[in-house]
């Protein structure tokens, strides 16, 4: 009993250090994956590009129908509501401002990230985790193949690009679908919102939107790979690491999104 009490401060200390240690390890892992000169050689070649292409098709192209449906539903439910509600209490400029803030910068980013985490992040963890359990990764290393070059970097870049493209696609569909529905059901004049929203986008905010989505995609990909490589001996580790990858990705993306608003877009606060 006394021993347990004496161990308590150490336990609290270890538990407190766990999240920063995890984030530090994840950061190092991500930076290694993105370093083009890993182990002194640039090795993004035919084999790596095929993995990158495969990841882009799986995370990006294959996800287009479901993103389209999600964006359409969001457009009908949220874009229309924002326009109809805000125009009652504010002027046209305020409606456009809120559309940009909510639909373009937040909704598109977060919903796309959630979908990418659930769809691609979990798939990457299961895929690479299974490879590790079956000792396929050891087989690759025995052929002089750097796992980062061949498996990790293409997947991390693939999810980054997929997130950026899908978020843009989501924003366009969600905005357009809501406005078109309002124009069709209420008044054709609502269509003028489309060019006005487009012209109201500031280049700095657009750049930030792109950077934010690339970063979120990279984090989703690297977190999935990081947890996959933590699988070591047992098949039971695979679902554990998959759920950890999903939960941690969601947490990091949401927290970073809040930090982005606080530090990078104070004008939006």
Partner 1 sequence: MNMNLAPNTHSPAAIVAKQLVPVQSNNNIQSGLSLQTAKGEIICFMGIDRKVLDQYIRTLAGIHPIESGTLEIFQQPVEEIPAKAWSSIRTKLAYISRDAPLLSVLNGLNNVIFPALYHGTLERHAAIKKALAIFTELEYSGNNLDLPAFMEPIDKVQLAIARAIMLDPTVLLLDDPWYSLDPHDYSKLNDFFYQWVKNGTIIMTTSNISFVRKYATKIYFIGHQEIFEFSSWPTMCHSEVEEVRHYLRQYSESS
Q: Residues interacting with partner 1, by CB under 8 A? A: 39-41, 43, 45-48, 50, 127, 130-131, 134-136, 138-146, 149-150
Residue from 63, 77, 49, 86 nearest 217 by CA: 63
Residue 134's φ and ψ, nearest 5 degrees, are -85, 5
Q: Which one-letter DSSP state was computed for residue 41?
A: S
Smallest separation, CB 32 to partner 1 (Å): 13
Q: Which is nearer to partner 1, 82 or 131 (CB)?
A: 131
Whose Cβ is closer to partner 1: residue 29's or residue 190's?
A: 29
* For partner 1, the closer CB: 21 or 50: 50
Indicate left, alpha or beta for 40 from its phi (over 0: left) and psi (-120 to 50: alpha). left
CB of 124 to partner 1, least distance (A): 12
Residues 39, 141 contacting (CB under 8 angstroms): no
Q: Which is nearer to partner 1, 132 or 227 (CB)?
A: 132
What's the token pair of residue 181? 């529905």
Measured from the CB atom, the residue of 151 and 250 that comes closer to partner 1 is: 151
CA distances in angstroms from 73 to 35, 46, 83, listed in the order given? 39, 39, 15
Q: Angle CA(79)–CA(176)–CA(121) in degrees, nearest 5?
A: 80
Q: Closest separation between CB of residue 120 and partner 1, Å? A: 15
As measured in angstroms, the least distance from the Cβ of 27 to partner 1 is 21
Quick one: 39 or 192, whose CB is closer to partner 1? 39
**Nearest partner of 53 among 129, 170, 176, 158, judged by Cα:** 158
- Chain centre distance of CA 144: 31
The pair of structure tokens assigned to 50 is 């095929």
Q: How far is the CB of 52 from partner 1 (least distance, A)?
A: 13
- Please, which residue, 84 or 140, has the CB nearer to partner 1? 140
CB of 59 to partner 1, least distance (A): 15
**Alpha-carbon torsion, ordered 19, 31, 112, 168, to 10 deg:** 150
Tell me how far, at minimum, the Cβ of 25 lies from partner 1, in Å: 19
């Amino acid at each position: 009993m006394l021993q347990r009490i004496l161990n308590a401060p150490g336990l609290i200390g270890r538990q407190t250090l766990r999240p920063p240690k995890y984030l530090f390890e994840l950061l190092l892992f991500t930076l290694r994956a993105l370093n083009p000169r890993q182990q002194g050689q640039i090795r993004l070649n035919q084999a790596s590009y095929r993995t990158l292409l495969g990841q882009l098709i799986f995370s990006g192209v294959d996800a287009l129908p479901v993103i389209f449906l999600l964006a359409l539903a969001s457009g009908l439910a949220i874009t229309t509501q924002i326009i109809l509600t805000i125009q009652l209490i504010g002027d046209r400029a305020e409606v456009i401002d809120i559309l940009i803030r909510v639909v373009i910068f937040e909704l598109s980013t977060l919903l796309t990230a959630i979908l990418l985490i659930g769809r691609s992040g979990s798939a990457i963890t299961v895929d690479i985790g299974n490879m590790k359990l079956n000792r396929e990764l050891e087989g690759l290393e025995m052929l002089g193949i750097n796992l980062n070059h061949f498996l990790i970097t293409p997947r991390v870049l693939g999810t980054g690009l997929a997130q950026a493209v899908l978020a843009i696609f989501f924003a366009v569909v969600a905005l357009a679908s809501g406005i078109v529905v309002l124009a069709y059901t209420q008044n054709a004049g609502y269509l003028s919102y489309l060019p006005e929203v487009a012209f109201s986008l500031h280049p700095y905010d657009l750049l930030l939107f792109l950077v934010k989505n690339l970063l979120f995609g990279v984090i989703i990909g690297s977190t999935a790979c990081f947890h996959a490589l933590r699988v070591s001996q047992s098949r039971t580790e695979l679902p554990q690491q998959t759920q950890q990858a999903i939960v941690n990705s969601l947490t990091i993306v949401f927290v970073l999104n809040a930090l982005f608003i606080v530090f990078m877009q104070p004008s939006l606060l």
